[in-house]
Structure 1
Amino acid sequence: MLQDIAPHIFNNQYMDKKPAKDDFIISIKEGTILLRRQEEIKLPTFKDFVSKYFNIDKSAIYLFSIDEINFFLVNDRLIEEDNEFKYENLHKLRTEKPMWMAFAAAVGGQLSLWYDSHKYCGRCAQKLVLHSTERALLCPNCSDIIYPTLAPSVIVAITNGNKLLMTKYAYGIYKNYALVAGYAEIGEDLEQTVRREVMEEVGLNVKNITYYKTQPWPFSGALLVGYFAEVDGDETVTLQESELSEATWFEREKIPKSPSQISLTSEMIERFRNQTDKNIE
């Protein structure tokens, strides 16, 4: 999956660091990220732009490191495109190589959106400042502290013997087959989220809900939690057309091939395809 970047090591511990010339820049503009695309993508480093943008390193925000290389957000000014680096849609990172660089760019985009969406205090409207000891924003007026948020959501592979229920979204840029999915609501555990989302989207009851795996998904700021579940009773689908354009039962050998293997959804589909019995452990 996208976050599986071994042997590279991702370290998101907060540190008070200053950029070096070989550290990478995260520069975001309206859902796009500045990078160079050839056979593989590459983010710009400070040495690529330090001569053009005076003091570009002074206000850079440390985000995380991969191995010994640090990644910094530059969000106080717009770095213009040049002959080498162009702004590309963040969602294109799903198919880019190397995966560790695509993962870094996607997580950098997620953090950039959080910073950009939290400029003022929701209590008193005072302008927020960077916290001095942790990854957070602080209101200097009322002392409220705002941390990066994750949205817990479930991915549900609904099975009926040798069949898997696959769906397509009614909206958005992703047009391939997926699985039933949805965000957790206040006051429910994740198994309750599974039951509710399945009933809402496809009108089915499920049983034997079994946890599979989790995945951070930076494109939506979600923490995905995967479950397998068996249909309980009638398998006739009642489609929630405001969410889905299609929900179809596929026999194992006829399941459409996933276009990539970076997502929890794709891994779960392939997991079911390659099973030889009902055991999903």
Structure 2
Amino acid sequence: MIQDIFPHVYHNEMKWKIPDQEDFVLCYGKEHILYCKAADDRIDLPRVADLPALREQLQYLFSIDERAYYLAESEAAPGEGWEALPTGKLRSLPRRARIFAAAAGESLYRWYSSQRFCGRCGARMGKSKVERAMVCPACGNTVYPKICPAVIVAVHDGERLLLTRYKDRPIKHYALVAGFNEIGESIEETVHREVLEETGVRVKNLKFYKSQPWVFTDTLLFGFYAELDGDDHLTVQEDELSEAVWVDRHDVPEDTTGFSLTAEMIEQFRIGAVK
């Protein structure tokens, strides 16, 4: 999956570190733009040394191995030679540490840029000096990075898997039942509710598979396999899905990209790793 960057190591603890000339700078623009150089399924990012005028505007984000990544707080293009790449294209590039860094960095960019003013009193927010947080100097309101818990559910019935297609989205390939956790609800309760709402069926014997930080939407995904419980008749939630269908194991489309939790779970069922 996109976050699987072994043998590289992602260090996300907050630091107050002076930028090194060779550290990377993530420059984002409005409308989901990353400024970089893209060629041959790779991206090259500017270094601190490339952008001396922005040095005083850099916000530490994280490190991969010993190399730090900083956010350029200006949304202007960093200069000549850097192209505007729509960040949606990161999903189609091969898994590499730099691709993950660009995607994770955009999640923090969205958070920093949306927390400039206090949502409680309207005062300008300031950065915490002890943790990654934005703090209102007027009322003390403290805001942490946005992470939304959600579930991905592979409902199966013997040799059949329940596949769905989203409605009104550019991505038209098969997906699994998915949805966000609600206040006061356990993640297991979210599984039962979302399956019932989207497809009209009930499930049992939930088995947690693994999680994935889906940084493109600031989401932490929890993947579950669940068995059909009772009637297999499907009632599609038409405002969410364009299709829900039972597919025999040997007819499940192959997906070896390994980019997303959904794709990996579907592939695990297809190859017989899940019974």
TM interval, shorter chain, is: over 0.9
Matches within 5 A, 1:1-281: 1-29=1-29, 30-39=31-40, 40-50=42-52, 54=53, 56-80=54-78, 82-83=80-81, 85-97=82-94, 99-258=96-255, 260-275=257-272, 278=275
Residue-by-residue CA offset, 1:87-146 (whole Å, 9 max, x unaligned):
111121112245211100000000000011111111111100111121111111112211
Distance 1:262 1:142, change over 3 A: same
SS at match of 1:182: strand
1:106 maps to a residue whose letter is: A
Which structure 2 residue ranges, 5 or more long, are not aligned?
none
In the superposition, the TM-score normalised over structure 1's length comes to 0.93
In the superposition, the TM-score normalised over structure 2's length comes to 0.95
User: May I ask how many residue pairs the two structures share in their alignment?
Assistant: 273
| Preserved CA contact (<8 Å) 1:41 1:98 | no
Which structure 1 residue ranges, 5 or more long, are not aligned?
none
Q: CA deviation at 1:238?
A: 0.5
User: For 1:140 and 1:172, how far apart are their aligned partners in 2?
Assistant: 41
Distance 1:98 1:184, change over 3 A: closer
Q: CA deviation at 1:219?
A: 0.3
User: For 1:258 and 1:128, how far apart are their aligned partners in 2?
Assistant: 44
| Preserved CA contact (<8 Å) 1:81 1:87 | no
Q: CA deviation at 1:274?
A: 1.6
Q: CA deviation at 1:17?
A: 1.1
SS at match of 2:55: coil
User: For 2:259 and 2:118, how far apart are their aligned partners in 1?
Assistant: 36
Q: CA deviation at 1:44?
A: 1.4
User: For 2:144 and 2:248, how far apart are their aligned partners in 1?
Assistant: 44
Q: What is the CA RMSD across the aligned residues, in angstroms? A: 1.4
2:76 maps to a residue whose letter is: L
User: For 1:225 and 1:167, how far apart are their aligned partners in 2?
Assistant: 18
Residue-by-residue CA offset, 1:143-177 (whole Å, 9 max, x unaligned):
22111021000000000100101111102232211
1:101 maps to a residue whose letter is: R
